[in-house]
Amino acid sequence: MKTQLIPILALAALTACSGNVNNNSESAAPVDSTQTETSAGDNTANVLKDAVSVWTQNERIQSMSGEGKVKLPDQYALFDLDGDGNDEILLREWTKDSNLTGYLALFTNGKDGLQLVELTYQTGQIGGMTFYKNGFVKIESGNESGTYGQYDYVKIENSSVVRSFISAFGEDENENEYSNFYKVEAGQERQTISSDEFSSAIAGCDSENTYQLDGFDWKSDF
């Protein structure tokens, strides 16, 4: 029996760590969607195959493909981040020699099917994603000097992205520093909120309540 995967939806269209951040863009706007079919029901191998297919079609991966050879993920991990009984899927490009993660992708796979939350770049503890025990995932972007950047705290519930809270910071054209805060409910445009509202919303997102990347059960047998 064939089941159809829903359109892939990224809640926050972010730049890579060294990329530019557009503070006027709508972080919750759907990106171009794709639909595929799979002959698997709840088959892990086929779901992973679909996740890798989304990975290889991602614009960032394609832009780094050089002479047409698309970089594939080296490892995957299954882990129930939001405690709903369904595993989220992590894919990563892992450099064994330096023990570093390059590209990292997070997918949910609940009743609505496979969904890409984000694919980003991470080296050591710079950029990438941070996973919290309260169901939040922080996605970082900005430039290496730290003069501008963006933190998206994405909330996952029941294997779906339900909302995010965004902190965008940097310098304007007059070199004046700014910090802007937003809330985005799934399917809606972002709303400006205060710094106090932002801090209250992400309470519990601290270093004492994180899952470490090296703590996941990474496998290479796709």
Tell me how far the alpha carbon of residue 65 is from its chain's centroid: 20
* Number of domains making up the chain: 1
Supply the mean pLDDT for the chain. 79
Rounded Cα gap, residues 125 and 157, in angstroms:
25
Q: Classify residue 8: in a domain, yes or no.
A: yes
Give residue-wise pLDDT tens across range 94-141: 877 777 888 999 999 988 899 999 999 876 555 689 999 999 999 998
Domain-located, residue 94: yes
Q: Residue 222: inside a domain, yes or no? A: no
Whole-Å CA distances, 123 to 42, 100, 103: 33, 6, 8
Note the pLDDT of residue 69: 77
Residue 221 belongs to a domain: no
Q: Strands, E, within 83-159: which ranges?
A: 88-95, 100-110, 113-123, 126-132, 136-142, 149-157
Q: Is residue 220 part of a domain?
A: no
Question: Which structural domain range is residue 29 located in?
Answer: 3-18+25-215
Per-residue pLDDT of the chain (222 residues; tens, 9 = 90+): 333 333 333 333 333 333 333 333 333 333 333 333 333 344 889 999 999 999 999 988 888 776 667 888 999 999 999 999 999 999 999 877 777 888 999 999 988 899 999 999 876 555 689 999 999 999 998 766 667 889 999 999 999 999 999 999 998 888 888 999 999 999 899 999 999 999 999 999 999 999 998 899 999 988
pTM, two decimal places: 0.76
How far is it, in rounded angstroms, from Cα 117 to Cα 108?
7
* Alpha-carbon 109 to chain mean position: 14
In a domain, 81, yes or no: yes
Within a domain: residue 73?
yes
Position 192 in a domain: yes
